[in-house]
Chains A and B, each alone.
Chain A
């Protein structure tokens, strides 16, 4: 079965640079979520989108923004990168609009961001 696709898988940036992470949800899923997992930490929810509208907001820094496009893929834009932004960034997708599997989040493999 098709899974969540994230790109790139690894990214190295310098401080104060920008980064864009991409997420392609499972086909027919209408909701995308972004999480940040620091080394040895639990995943922290950043933001979610349902049908291209922002749905829920967690601990996303103001330097970060995200959007969901008409084909349901999503991008997380990170500006003025700091050393503390080094982490694993996960995207998850779900089908919010009905069905037995609704609201079950399926995670992608993650993008590992290293800020130097």
Chain B
């Protein structure tokens, strides 16, 4: 079984400031980890993923995340926030066993202050 914990249901940053969204996971097998973004009344868009290999992964829109096995974490960062980054962000985990459903965290609502 796996689970995801996202610290902070709401995160507020100023435009141009660093964005840090936290995600910790629990998995009995090596996890596949994902970050998705959801804009209001829209579907889920994949930002980035970690499956195997390089632990620092880069995604779309300037986001990146680092898989840290020792900390069971997969935090999402962006050096400089933009107003268009305001959205709901979900961290998700799967076992990578093939066709397995994703387990999502509760989500973090990112607010960008002008």
Contacts and interface: CB of A to CB of B under 8 A. Distances in A.
B58 interface: no
B25 to A, nearest CB: 14
Contact of A43 (B42, B46, B90): B90
Contacts of A108: 43
A103 interface: yes
B72 interface: no
A105 B43 contact: no
A103 B96 contact: yes
A71 interface: no
Contacts, number: 65
A103 B94 contact: yes
A44 B100 CA distance: 13
Tell me the dominant secondary structure on chain A's binding face: strand
A104 interface: yes
Interface hub of B90, B99, B103 (most chain A Cβ within 10 A): B99
Given A55-B98, A96-B98, A103 B103 contact: no
18 contacts: A33-B99, A35-B101, A42-B106, A43-B102, A47-B101, A48-B101, A50-B98, A55-B100, A56-B100, A56-B101, A90-B44, A103-B51, A103-B94, A103-B100, A105-B46, A105-B102, A106-B46, A107-B44
Interface of B: 32, 34, 36, 42-46, 49, 51, 90, 94, 96, 98-107
